[in-house]
Amino acid sequence: MGDTQGKIMDLIFGRWRSQTLYAGVKLGIFDSLQNNSKKATVIAEDLGLDPKLTYRLLRALGSLELLDESTDQTFSLTEAGQFLRTDHPESLRGITLLEEGPHHYALWKHLPAMVQDGKQNAFVREFGCSAFEYAAQDTTYAEVFDGAMSSFSMIQSAWVLDALQAYDFSQIAHICDVGGGHGHLLCSFLAKYPHLRGTVLERESAIADYTKLWATKLGVGERCQYLAGDMFKAVPSADAYIMKMILHDWNNEECVQILDYQRKAATSGSRVFIAEHIIPGPNTPHFAKLFDIHMMCWGTGQERTQEEYKDLLERAGWKYMKTWFPSSGLIAVVEGLKV
Ligand SMILES: C[S@@+](CC[C@H](N)C(=O)[O-])C[C@H]1O[C@@H](n2cnc3c(N)ncnc32)[C@H](O)[C@@H]1O
């Protein structure tokens, strides 16, 4: 088989890999191993699983280089497998449970039909309503979704801080993270810049469980406030707004509305920071171009180019300033100024 065929085979069977990985995470295999080696039968017994099928799953996870297999059917975590533990500081477990879990898995089958008939509504086709409406009814989905955002933020916040490494925050006192989830990004800013205070604006249900919020865990509880609200109705006044993975959830008209509310509430000279995947030019492969397809399936949104973000800012009355890129990482920060 040639290289090209091999590459296509990889694409065709890619979902087998992600679903095998998902099964390992969902069943608790990575947490069960921690830093130990265990025989397949012991893992199966610990987790209440069928021993023969467990061995085959472990062997496949070994083939994906997430586990290390010895000749006597004993397994341990590889360096990559460590990232799937719940307690890893940059754990990818939460995002696995969301993106390969049954809800998001079910969306993809609608992709060809959506592209044929031009209606971007896979979530509605599958579940009868939009994702956030669905999350309001189904607490299991809501918990997996909010948990995934929170844990993925442990990686993304570092990219945002890196992108804005050289930024002068001395003129900013109050920063509002709009749709800030459990507040990892905002609290990371507050931890790095002790003169800042912050507000996380979020849907009430996403911030109801105090134990999941980051403010106390990151030692900035006294400078961080969580505010239940609707970014389409009102936002608090602030010197800067930050939104990570927000505008990509919404179509252009909705984004202009969100940005317009912030500009109206902003103090003079305020900034808005939009942290998103940025689509690069033609023929440049990028995760953003695939994430865009996920957004097509999930809601009304999309990933955008730098020009498209500039256009959204200007339509909402902000002045585009600059796009800040991290030294490595998948998201960048587009900055706007209230003039
Ligand atoms: C894709 S998540 C991103 C969360 C967080 N910014 C992050 O990057 O981890 C989108 C967030 O927007 C919040 N959200 C959705 N609609 C909202 C609204 N109308 N007002 C405030 N927050 C909203 C959701 O609850 C969710 O936490």
Q: Which residues contact 238 (CB under 8 A, 6 or more apart)?
A: 174, 175, 176, 199, 265, 266, 267, 270
Measured between alpha carbons, how far is 337 from 266 in angstroms, rounded to an integer?
10
Task: Select from 246, 247, 277 the residue to mutate for testing ligand 1; criterion: most ligand atoms less than 8 Å from CB.
Answer: 246
Q: What is the pLDDT of residue 205?
A: 93
Q: What is the pLDDT of residue 35?
A: 86
Task: Select from 231, 244, 294 the residue to mutate for testing ligand 1; criterion: most ligand atoms less than 8 Å from CB.
Answer: 231
pLDDT tens digits, one per residue of 261-280 = 999 999 889 999 999 999 99
* Ligand 1 atom with least separation from CA of 180: 6
Indicate the residue type of 299.
G
pLDDT grade, residue 99 (50/70/90)?
very high
Domains defined along the chain, listed by start: 3-85 (1.10.10.10), 103-338 (3.40.50.150)
Q: Which residues contact 90 (CB under 8 A, 6 or more apart)?
A: 83, 154, 155
Mean pLDDT of 239-248: 98
Mean pLDDT of 37-45: 98
Q: Other CB atoms closer than 10 Å to residue 168's CB: what's the count? A: 7
Looking only at Cα atoms, what is the longest distance across the chain?
68
Give exposure, 89-119, as e/b (b: 16+ Cβ within 10 Å): eebbbbbbbbbbbebbeebeebeeebeeeee
Of 35 and 170, the one with more pLDDT: 170
Contact indicator for 324, 164 with CB cutoff of 8 Å: yes
Q: What is the pLDDT of residue 76?
A: 98
pLDDT above 80 for 237: yes
**Secondary structure string (H, E, C) spanning the chain:** CCHHHHHHHHHHCHHHHHHHHHHHHHCCHHHHHCCCCEEHHHHHHHHCCCHHHHHHHHHHHHHCCCEEECCCCEEEECHHHHCCCCCCCCCCHHHHHHHCCHHHHHHHHHHHHHHHHCCCCHHHHHHCCCHHHHHHHCHHHHHHHHHHHHHHHHHHHHHHHHHCCCCCCCCCCEEEEECCCCCHHHHHHHHHCCCCEEEEEECHHHHCCHHHCHHHHCCCHHHEEEEECCCCCCCCCCCEEEEECCHHHCCHHHHHHHHHHHHHHCCCCCEEEEEECECCCCCCCCHHHHHHHHHHHHCCCCCECHHHHHHHHHHCCEEEEEEECCCCCCCEEEEEEEC
Measured between alpha carbons, how far is 284 from 12 in angstroms, rounded to an integer?
21
Q: What is the mean pLDDT of the chain?
A: 97
Measured between alpha carbons, how far is 250 from 11 in angstroms, rounded to an integer?
28
Contact indicator for 337, 269 with CB cutoff of 8 Å: yes
pLDDT tens digits, one per residue of 139-181 = 999 999 999 999 999 999 999 999 999 999 999 999 999 999 9
* Ligand 1 atom with least separation from CA of 153: 9
Residue 149 CA, ligand 1 centroid: distance in Å: 9
Residue 124 CA, ligand 1 centroid: distance in Å: 18
> Cα–chain-centroid distance for residue 244?
9
Residue 55 CA, ligand 1 centroid: distance in Å: 40
Nearest CA to ligand 1 atom 11: 179
pLDDT tens digits, one per residue of 289-317 = 999 999 999 999 999 999 999 999 999 99
pLDDT above 90 for 53: yes
pLDDT above 80 for 1: no
Measured between alpha carbons, how far is 123 from 110 in angstroms, rounded to an integer?
9
Least confident of 232-236, 327-331, 334-338: 327-331
Using a 6 Å cutoff on CB, does residue 232 contact ligand 1? yes
Q: What is the pLDDT of residue 329?
A: 85
